[in-house]
Structure 1
């Protein structure tokens, strides 16, 4: 069946996406009122699958003849991409931690002191919610968090930010790299965690280029799951931890080098197995 808006210009598609985000945000807001405040894992699953994934699939159904394929839900061109995805995202952890330490110590000019106070108060409020989520007194809580915070979040966010938003940005700029970078910035900004903005941009870049080189969302989903899952596991093993010791900047440089080496390998794999960028 021919999609309803498949032949419309890009700006119409952007309006459609914005409209779907607003509509589903309102619906999810109403649904969340029915979920008990203490059911944080359920709220996370509703946000990821009921909002992000559903928006992405609805957008795809209205725009594309093959929505699953065009939004990236196809196998990667090589099985190596799945292993590389997990390896590269773990290699990126030190550089994200170094950037996080630097980001936490950034201060706005004195004239914007009230804005900085609002940002830090917002971050502190979000941290309290995350601390409640990461309270895992037994393995059952660990499994629930791995499912809700790692798997569901990975599927929902990758579908929306890489499968839809990044694709639109690449088409709008007609440049893959500009589209990936803008997508990473948008991905970080939409989390509204300003003191972790720059490390999340780096994570967005890693996930964005995984999608570009593999031609599939699944390696990005694997990487996102591994990244979030490793944090859940860390706080399960170290429940009283506040984030660990400071990471030397040298580790960040080594981490960056390993990530870049991984992407060189992916680029070579992409060339070997043929470019799979029809969805871009």
Structure 2
């Protein structure tokens, strides 16, 4: 009874702040630390050798597997397990409860699949624009730092996706596509967006603030806008359905499609490099993909509204 009283007195903004703190603590410190020790048996050398490799992993191709393990633990622990535990403590809501509203909505997964692919085409315009954005002269120092950070992040991404076997591809698919789809959506949509909605009573504010924080979390300033738009799309998918399955599936499709296309590109099956910020579809295709995305979003919302009315909710 005391726990329920404490829970009811905690302001939603405090819950939102606590969610961010716990997630960052788990993702930046606890998860990677646990992953580091799990990865030790899979890398040669002593403890200091591993720390040296960790400081500059792209110079050590053999360190890719340990880095997959560390990244996977960071996401699993920092963005899934610890936030899920926090959610249960402050809201008495476990991880499974976020997905229970998705019964009989199988058709929507097909809609979301097509919608996500079409949105990726539209988003390529913003990816190209944001990647070539230049800051005012007085922010030149920040731009230099940000571009340097972006280049290092790009090098790390290329390193992690330079698959040498099907096993590496499968492991990367889990670490890059599956785990973030669950963990990031739990934190930014399931928890943060919900707390902000309760605090502001405005779904659009909650969705867009969560999307901004979601993009900022990745610390890639020259990809900030397209990732924010993607986060907003996920936010509306969650708000209209009430089930985390919907945005998590969209997130999975977005990341998974990119990983598969990278793998096929390396195998010379496809010529398009999805990681290139210079790849922009022709304008007629952009317009068509935007119309498809908008039309499917409208269908998604009206279907769920009618389903909710039919169910008496």
TM-score scaled by length of structure 2:
0.81
- 1:100 equivalent in structure 2: 127
Select the structure of larger CA radius of gyration.
Answer: 2
CA apart distance, 1:29:
4.4
- Give the secondary structure class of the aligned counterpart of 1:66: coil
Query: Which of 6, 11, 14 is equivalent to 1:12?
Result: 14
CA apart distance, 1:19:
4.1
Deviations 1:152-185 (A, max 9, x none): 1111111111111111121222111121111111
Runs of at least 5 residues in structure 2 that lack an aligned partner in the other structure: 41-53, 55-62
Root-mean-square deviation (CA, aligned residues, Å) is 2.3
- 1:214 equivalent in structure 2: 241
CA apart distance, 1:223:
1.1
- How far apart are the structure 1 equivalents of 2:143 and 2:224? 14
CA apart distance, 1:128:
1.0
- 1:148-167 alignment, distance < 5 Å: 148-167=175-194
**TM-aligned CA distance change 1:249 to 1:17, over 3 Å:** same
Q: State whether residues 82 and 222 of structure 1, in contact with CA within 8 Å, keep that contact through their aligned partners in structure 2.
A: yes
Runs of at least 5 residues in structure 1 that lack an aligned partner in the other structure: none
- 1:43 equivalent in structure 2: 70
Runs of 4+, deviation exceeding 6 Å: none
* Larger deviation, residues 29-38 vs 169-178: 29-38
Q: State whether residues 81 and 214 of structure 1, in contact with CA within 8 Å, keep that contact through their aligned partners in structure 2.
A: no
- How far apart are the structure 2 equivalents of 1:247 and 1:81? 26
Query: Which of 21, 25, 30 is equivalent to 1:27?
Result: 30
CA apart distance, 1:95:
1.3
CA apart distance, 1:3:
4.9
* Larger deviation, residues 8-17 vs 112-121: 8-17
Q: State whether residues 238 and 246 of structure 2, in contact with CA within 8 Å, keep that contact through their aligned partners in structure 1.
A: yes
Q: State whether residues 56 and 163 of structure 1, in contact with CA within 8 Å, keep that contact through their aligned partners in structure 2.
A: no
- How far apart are the structure 1 equivalents of 2:265 and 2:205? 39
- 2:51 equivalent in structure 1: none
* Larger deviation, residues 256-265 vs 34-43: 34-43
1 or 2, which has the higher helix percentage?
2
* Larger deviation, residues 262-271 vs 39-48: 39-48
- 1:230 equivalent in structure 2: 257
- 1:131-280 alignment, distance < 5 Å: 131-239=158-266, 241=273, 243=276, 245-274=279-308
- 1:74 equivalent in structure 2: 100
- Give the secondary structure class of the aligned counterpart of 1:148: helix
Aligned pairs, number: 275
CA apart distance, 1:18:
4.1
- 2:142 equivalent in structure 1: 115
- How far apart are the structure 1 equivalents of 2:22 and 2:117? 33
- 2:58 equivalent in structure 1: none
TM-score scaled by length of structure 1:
0.89
Larger RCO (CA under 8 A, 6+ residues apart): 1
